[in-house]
Amino acid sequence: MELTKEILKGESKVLEFKENMPNNESIAKTIIAFSNTSGGKLLIGVSDKREIIGIDKNLDIFDIQDKVASIIYDNCYPTIIPEIYTSNIDGKIIMVIEVFRGNLIPYFMKKYGENEGVYIRVGATNRKASFENILDLERQSRRISFDEEINYDEDFGDMDITPVEKRFRDMGKTLDLEKLKNLKLIKVENGRVYATNGLSIILGTFENCMVKCSRFKGTSMDVFLDKKEYIGDLFSQIDKIEGFIKSHIKLKSEIKGLQRKDILEIPIEAIREAIVNAIVHRDYANKGRDVKVGIYDDILNIVSPGGFPSTITEEDIISGRSEVRNKVIARVFKELNYIEQWGSGINRIKSSCIKHGLKEPLIKETGDFVSVEIYRELPGSADKVPGSADKVPGSADKNIDLSDQEVKVLNYLKDNAKVTTSQTMKLCSVKERRARIILKGMVEKRLLRVVGKGRATCYTVNNLDGQK
């Protein structure tokens, strides 16, 4: 049953489907990619469309298992020992090749060697590791982060650490050489003091220590209304990003007693947490990318380079598991109370938005980026206070929170008798799976009802007042 649920979710960072027995190299690449990343399962007998086909019943299962084990042993180095077993789902046999993240990373194809034969898992694909990826895997094997390494390109004596000193002073703390050393902002080698990459990043001296903020017109990136690029120390960047966001979202007033209280449409706690997460946990080792903040009519989107740390999945993050990519930066931010508790940031973003009356934010790993989408109130709702909701005529619950996509569907149905999955895909600019989720959610909210079956399935307004 658990395997069936996994299949229904589709291919992912830890799951790959093959309808038929793949060639030797394909198997080896997938197993290596899983071993270098978060582990995973290769399922043989399942199509890309999540259909359970099963393997040919005329084949000898034990022969196949032996063949797969030999392929992995002959092609992968260091040695990877998989778990190979079968699962019977509705009378169809699926072969499962399961591996766990290895302790001897990086793993690679023997015939290509370490420089050309390392593969990693990015999203639902196997990707040949770049030179930077290989260096990162080697750091992981030594249990050292990029920001802990010495930066030999900068002279510590020429660095202005005033921005860091000021933040510590504001907290009533001192930052002397011993403290810098304990925080691993500096290291001493052969009697000489060097800055670590962590100190250079915090001071913003690396070229990719930049955040690009944009306000777009509507819900696409077609037209800019405003854009800014922020550089400098990370603390000042956070302050400037927060100011940019505040200047482009709505501020409303709520009267309590004789006092008026101004309230942002998105809770400040969620904004700050999302910014800090992006700054602290992004991948700084890749020098060609930066954090991007986009404000649209419907969402605030913060995208940071680097997927979730290799050892964990999206489900682990949501459940509160913590794995720190940048140990030095995280340690400093924890010392300065930018981080309250390890592993609690994502849940704080979600809970503060829900408490504020907004839809639950969408936090996802897309390739080697992490995207946080915080939903705004719908256009035209400026007179509302947080917690209010859109009125939906004819619905069982007169106060239902609608997403922008759900509003588009309902507006379409004002002029049309029915809507299909393909029409929803066009209306909302989404793929088929997301369109089905939107429609299913609207059925569950009793906004729509299903008409027809199979390919003839469509949806119409669920009029609960008895009107036809």
User: Do 328 and 410 lie in a common domain?
Assistant: no
DSSP code, position 107? P
**129 in any annotated domain:** yes
Please report the pLDDT score of residue 429 as a whole number: 87
CA distance readout (Å), 176 to 161, 169, 186, 336 = 11, 11, 11, 15
Please report the pLDDT score of residue 324 as a whole number: 87
Please report the pLDDT score of residue 179 as a whole number: 96
Boundary residue ending a domain (102, 120, 141) = 141
Q: What is the CATH number of the domain that holds 420?
A: 1.10.10.10
Our count of domains for the chain comes to 4
Q: What domain range is 416 assigned to?
A: 390-461
b/e sequence 389-403, b meaning 16+ C-beta within 10 Å: bbebeebeeeebbbb
- What is d(CA 297, CA 281) in angstroms, rounded to the nearest whole number? 27
b/e sequence 217-240, b meaning 16+ C-beta within 10 Å: eebeeeeeeeeeebeebbbebbeb
Q: What is the dihedral of CA 195, 198, 204, 205, to 10 degrees?
A: 40
Boundary residue ending a domain (161, 186, 203) = 203
Question: In the chain, which stretches have pLDDT less than 50?
Answer: 379-399, 464-468
User: Do 27 and 117 lie in a common domain?
Assistant: yes
Beta strands 186-189 and 192-195 are: antiparallel
**385 in any annotated domain:** no
**383 in any annotated domain:** no
**381 in any annotated domain:** no
Which runs of consecutive H residues, i.e. helices, occur in 162-233? Answer: 162-170, 177-182, 197-203
- What is d(CA 299, CA 297) in angstroms, rounded to the nearest whole number? 6
**152 in any annotated domain:** yes
Tokens of 369: 């980026």
User: Do 118 and 157 lie in a common domain?
Assistant: no
**380 in any annotated domain:** no
Please report the pLDDT score of residue 388 as a whole number: 36
**448 in any annotated domain:** yes
Q: What is the CATH number of the domain that holds 339?
A: 3.30.565.60
User: Do 163 and 264 lie in a common domain?
Assistant: no
Boundary residue ending a domain (90, 124, 141) = 141
